Chains A and B, each alone.
Chain A
Amino acid sequence: MHILEVRDITKHFSGIKAVEDVSFRVKEGAVASIIGPNGAGKTTLFNCLTGLTKPTKGSIFLSGNNISGLAPHRIVGFGIARTFQNIRLFREMTVLENVLVSQHLRIRSGMVGAVIRGREFIREEREIRDRAFEYLELVGLEDAADLPSLNLPYGDQRRLEIARALATEPKILLLDEPTAGMNPQETLGIMEIIKRLQGLGKTVIFIEHDMRVVMGISEAIIVLDHGVKIAEGSPDSIKNDPLVIEAYIGRNIFA
């Protein structure tokens, strides 16, 4: 059963072909990775999937619904959440509040409810608070709930981003270079978290440069180069693909 189907996604930035006719499918509950040299269009592809940029052409189906070209906040409602390559936390909010914000769509009480503070409002607030702590626990940040998020160490900021994305209750999590700038031990921690996400039944797609992570946990790999998909398959088949080796010429990335 494929949860995500991308058909001929193309994104041009006034003549620059960032992504060109990329199609792929991802199975429900799978861990897939997108790799490719710098400027291959990986993040642009993520931006198209989350609605931050409108694809020039093509369509994206999430469990059968065409979500291409929808506004970001609507796509979240369909069940895609993401983290960012350059960490984007709500810096002046606490760690807990960061995770509360992303449960925005789950709350029904509006402004009037907030002013009256009826039973329903209190129940909802308590519920998202409890859930927020669950998600923080999952990434190991429950003790930091009251800290301002800008005071977190770098590795924890990345983990908070994952908790925050997870709190939108997505079916698919897109992680944009989750281990960038991390030491080997922190990287292992992230791999552990990704496995836990899979255990929760989430589909995880991540962009990554660290081949130990890519080969270690992904079931399917998509390789982009200059905006074009040059290969797709299992880690073993990608390792031996001549096109992939050529794209990474001069570097033995699979060492």
Chain B
Amino acid sequence: MMTGTGEYPAKRKKLEVLNRAWFILAALWFSLLLLPFKGLKPALILFFVLSAVILFMQYIAGFVRVLTARLHALTGRFKAVSLSHTTSLTVRASFLAVLMVLPFLAQDYFLDVVVLTGIYIILALGLNVIVGFTGLLHLGFAASYAIGAYTYALLNTKAGLGFWYSLPVCAGLAALSGAVIALPALRLKGDYLAIVTLGFGEIVRLILNNWDTFTGGPNGISGIAVPYFFGITIGRLGLHYYITLMAVVLTYVVVKRVRRSKTGRAWIAIREDEVCAATMGVNTMRYKLYAFAFGSFWAGLAGALFAVKMQFVSPESFTFIESVLILCMVILGGLGSIPGVIVGAIILVMLPEVLREVQTYRMLALGAGLIIMMIFRPQGLLGGWGDERRETKDE
């Protein structure tokens, strides 16, 4: 009944060697790209460093695999203590502890980048619900992001409403915007849906750009107030860092829990086979609507955080390219994989900062990286099987 287990290790070995060859080739390409910008020596150095890192990582990976196998064998004997679970808990706790003290250790510049990363993680997690879970290509996600940002900006500057009161309104209005776009789009599939969502994104941006009396037009809205946070005084950036951290944790927990429920399963089922999902009792229209509203909700939250961070919003921040950037994070990390899209967001925000040294090079590297990804790992960095399986297993 099961597939033969004998041939499996041999197959994996072969795959590993093949993988290594491809990775070395990728390293070579990156180095060649560097050549015209920095000269021969740095290119060679980059190549050797990349190759060494790749080989080292694979070497380590082998060890880790053996080690985890042994650990599993060990825990199998003492069934009462589930080691893997406790380690993951301690890892999570210590990771969070590091994040908590980060503002006291890091420089302002770094903290600023981290806050931006947090905002994009929320956006990527939101879009992942629509594109990754439900399989609906959404090219106008920046519109919901903009609605969140402008809602806070307007509520704050025109009505004098504070951050914490505005936040639910921002997220709620963004969710509503998601539902509004979903209504006409629900009967469309694939390319047609993508075009409608793209149109929606542009409409929102154009309204913001042209409704001078209300949104301030291209000049945007400035002078947005900074929120208070239980009276903690650790500098504005630090304050914002903690608010963003809280929002990221909230998004992560909520999205993960919804994914592992009836709703999440219905979304994946729709992605896999819509007709079949309907014959299993899933109201596909309703759940697609939920996906749009739920995903856009987080865009609204991220928008409010963005407005607070910048204390200024303008239509420039919510262009089509912004939608594409968020989509890239989701695809890079792995469609449908929650840890994946987080990694994707971190890479795509951090990478341009890290590569600031080589200004002209960084966009090229980004493009090249994405192309290589699409060829050799179309399911994304952490996407595909492993993740889904783990998620169902450790419940």
Chain A residues in the interface with B (C-beta under 8 A): 50-52, 71-73, 76-77, 81-82, 84, 88-94, 96-97, 100-102, 104-105, 107, 109-111, 113-115, 117, 121, 125, 140, 143-144, 146, 148, 151, 153, 156, 164, 168
Contact = CB atoms under 8 A, between A and B. Distances in A.
Contact of A153 (B1, B253, B272, B278): B1
Given A102-B281, A110-B263, 8 more contacts: A51-B278, A51-B279, A73-B283, A82-B279, A93-B272, A100-B265, A113-B261, A115-B253
A171 to B, nearest CB: 14
B257 A77 contact: no
A88 B275 contact: yes
Contacts of A77: 281
Contacts of B395: 125
B385 interface: yes
B143 interface: no
B3 interface: yes
Contacts of B278: 51-52, 71-73
B135 to A, nearest CB: 10
B244 interface: no
Contacts of A91: 272-273
A156 B1 CA distance: 8
Nearest to A72: B278
A77 to B, nearest CB: 7
Interface residues of B, number: 38
Contacts of B260: 114
Nearest to A84: B276
Contacts of B273: 88-91
B195 interface: no
Contacts of B1: 140, 143-144, 153, 156
A40 B388 CA distance: 41
A111 B290 contact: yes
Contacts of B253: 115
A131 B146 CA distance: 45
B269 interface: yes
Contacts of B268: 90, 92-93, 97, 101
B392 interface: yes
A197 to B, nearest CB: 17
B281 A105 contact: yes
B393 A114 contact: no
B272 A92 contact: yes
Contact of B265 (A97, A110, A117, A140): A97
A73 B284 contact: yes
A208 to B, nearest CB: 20
A74 B369 CA distance: 46
A146 B281 contact: no
A9 B277 CA distance: 25
B281 A73 contact: yes
Given A96-B392, A105-B281, A148 B261 contact: no
Contacts of B271: 92
A101 B260 CA distance: 11
A92 B273 CA distance: 10
Q: Which are the 7 A-B pairs with shortest beta-carbon distances?
A: A114-B261, A90-B272, A72-B278, A102-B280, A76-B281, A105-B281, A88-B276
B294 interface: yes
A174 to B, nearest CB: 10
Q: Which of A52, A84, A104, A121 has its CB near the most chain B CB atoms (within 10 A)?
A: A104
Contacts of B272: 89-93
Contacts of A107: 261-262
B257 A143 contact: no
Given A88-B273, A115-B257, A153-B1, A104 B393 contact: no
Interface in B268-309: 268-269, 271-273, 275-284, 290, 294
Contacts of A153: 1, 3
A115 B264 CA distance: 12
B280 A76 contact: yes
A127 B279 CA distance: 22
B385 A52 contact: no
B291 to A, nearest CB: 11
A44 to B, nearest CB: 14
27 contacts: A51-B279, A52-B278, A71-B278, A71-B283, A76-B280, A77-B281, A84-B276, A88-B273, A88-B276, A92-B268, A94-B388, A94-B389, A96-B392, A101-B277, A104-B266, A104-B282, A107-B261, A109-B261, A109-B262, A111-B290, A114-B260, A114-B261, A114-B264, A115-B253, A146-B389, A148-B389, A151-B3
Nearest to A174: B279
Nearest to A88: B276
A114 B277 contact: no
Given A76-B279, A143-B2, A111 B261 contact: yes
A78 to B, nearest CB: 11
B257 to A, nearest CB: 5
B254 interface: yes
B281 A104 contact: yes
B257 A104 contact: no
Contacts of B257: 114-115, 117
B389 A121 contact: no
A101 B395 CA distance: 16
Given A52-B275, A88-B275, A73 B282 contact: yes
B258 interface: yes
